[in-house]
Structure 1
Amino acid sequence: MAFDGCFVTGTDTGVGKTLVSAALLHTLARQHRRVVGMKPVAAGLVQRDGEWVAEDVLALRAASTVAVPAVLDNPVALPDALAPHLAAARAGRAVTVAELVAAHAALRDLADVVVVEGAGGWRVPLNERETLADLALAIGAPVVLVVGLRLGCLNHALLSAEAIRADGLHLAGWVANTLDADMACRDENIETLRRWLPAPLLGTVPWHPQTPDARQIVLDLPDTWR
């Protein structure tokens, strides 16, 4: 089966999923003509050019090679920066896996590759019954795990990988993103994860005082993705 996309999750919120997703889009665009990013649920909007939109969504659109309707690349946009089910409840908006899967299916008709960025970590609730893991399972795409390098990352990464595999999905690789400039034994932590995680390290993002340019991040993607 030809490669047509992946699902990006993280060990927590704020670990660099958007940055890595954008880097994936830039890298994949060298091999695939039409690549597009998708943020199924964005919580926390800002006003840009008269439009309320999430910064994550803008970053993914900037890294995509095709423009698509907003209802497809960000079907659920919620004003408050909260967990999706809480932000949706506050907005009086129901969110279901079915509607997100439908938007993803429409995107696949418009692009060769769709990079889906989750929200928070792997098991974040969407409603009272479903989580983002259910969305990833419904899409069935290989998973990329973004590991935020800071104290506690080993446990978070190993548990996330365990959950992804337990849910029956393929962990295709992981990216190490340095969040703490003064992290003790950073390289040793990366080496520990290389030994323990059942997937290859796709790239390491060094610490930067500002958000780095996603185009400059070097990723070593599986040959089957080319």
Structure 2
Amino acid sequence: MYFVAGTDTDCGKTFIASALLHRAKQTGSTLGIKPIASGCELTEQGLRNCDALCLITESTYELDYQQVNPFAFAPAIAPHIAAEQMGMVLTPSAIAEHINQLPFGEVDFALVEGAGGWRLPLGEGKFLSDVVKQLSLPVILVVGVKLGSLNHALLTQEAMLADGIHIVGWVANMVDPNMSCPQENLNSLKTMMASPCLGVVPHLSSMDIAKAASYLDLNALA
């Protein structure tokens, strides 16, 4: 089981997480969850998040929606603020307990997608990264390649390593089609990142998960 983290909010975590699941289910069973999500839509079935629904689509193991996304908030704001508005307190222990109850051991490839960046606040001085540390989850880092991404990637890597996190690999997601010197930036990342690159996903005109999956190589995870 892996935790999928991102360099920032708009780096394409869900897109790459879904592509990782799509790639993995070509050879085995898969399960992806997103414990925390803001910006959920109210439906007849309750609050639903499009990111969580994408992970469900690429998972071969079926769970109830509430198992995939137990902490769902309607406002598209920081989750800890949304929780405060509802009189809730998000805690690492509650999130970790939920994850521990899920049948990840029954699938060949599983992932937990984070929210925001590495230091997503939960409130009261706690962070989502505390959950990853508590569960000792290995991390796959999604780097949204654009102007400033070298700094974002290196600072995120630095924080993860300082937390004692095992980064098993990273994926370059080319979010800016007009970025100057993209190959030079990729070369710099490959030199400075401490873990292997699992793939470079080019900017795609449509969110084609299957096509994105074709650019990923999961062999390095073994």
Shorter chain as denominator, the TM-score bin is over 0.9
Task: Give 1:177's aligned residue.
Answer: 173
Residues 139, 169 of structure 2: 8 Å contact kept:
yes
Quote the Cα distance in structure 2 between the aligned partners of 1:109 and 1:11: 25
Q: Which moved more, 1:147-156 or 1:80-89?
A: 80-89
Tell me which residue corresponds to 1:78.
73
In structure 2, the residue matched to 1:40 is: 35
- Structure 1 residue 177, shift from structure 2 partner: 0.7
Taking structure 2 as the reference length, the TM-score comes to: 0.92
- Distance in 1, Cα, partners of 2:20 & 2:100: 20
Is residue 18 from structure 1 mapped to residue 5 from structure 2 by the alignment?
no
Q: Distance in 2 between matches of 1:140 and 1:148?
A: 24
- Is 1:210–2:206 an aligned residue pair? yes
- 1:46-195 to structure 2, matched below 5 A, reads 46-48=41-43, 50-108=45-103, 111-112=106-107, 113-195=109-191
- State the Cα deviation string for residues 5-32 of structure 1 (Å, max 9, x = none): 1000011001110011111112222333
Please give the secondary structure, in 1, of the residue aligned with 2:123: coil
Taking structure 1 as reference, are residues 214 and 81 closer, same or farther at Cα in structure 2, changes over 3 Å only? farther
Percent of pairs with identical residues = 40
Q: Which amino acid aligns with 2:19?
A: A
**3-state SS in 1 of match to 2:8:** coil
Q: Deviations over 1:42-95 (max 9, x none)?
A: 111124565320110100000000111223211100111111211211222221
**Any conservation in 2 of the 1:7–1:115 contact (CA below 8 Å)?**
yes
- CA deviations on 1:183-206 (whole Å, 9 max, x unpaired) are 000111011000000011101111
How many Å apart are 1:181 and its aligned residue? 1.0
Secondary structure in 1 matching 2:142: strand
Structure 2: gaps of 5 or more residues:
none
Say whether the 8 Å CA contact 1:41–1:77 is kept in structure 2: yes
Give the drift of 1:99. Answer: 1.5
Q: CA deviation at 1:132?
A: 1.1
The one-letter code sitting in structure 1 at the alignment partner of 2:31 is V
Q: Which runs of 5+ in 1 are unaligned?
A: none
Matches of 2:4 and 2:190, distance apart in 1: 18
- Please give the alpha-carbon distance, in whole angstroms, between the structure 2 residues aligned to 1:47 and 1:215: 30
Deviations 1:114-157 (A, max 9, x none): 21000010011012121011011122121011111110000000
Distance 1:182 1:109 in 2: 39
Paired residues, what number? 220
Equivalent position SS for 1:203: strand
Q: CA RMSD in A?
A: 1.7
Shifted more, 73-82 versus 41-50: the winner is 41-50
Residues 101-124 of structure 1, C-alpha deviation per residue, up to 9 Å, x if partnerless?
122112135632321000010011
Instruction: Assess if the C-alpha contact under 8 Å between 1:22 and 1:60 holds in 2.
Output: yes
Runs of 4+ in 1 over 6 A off after TM superposition: none
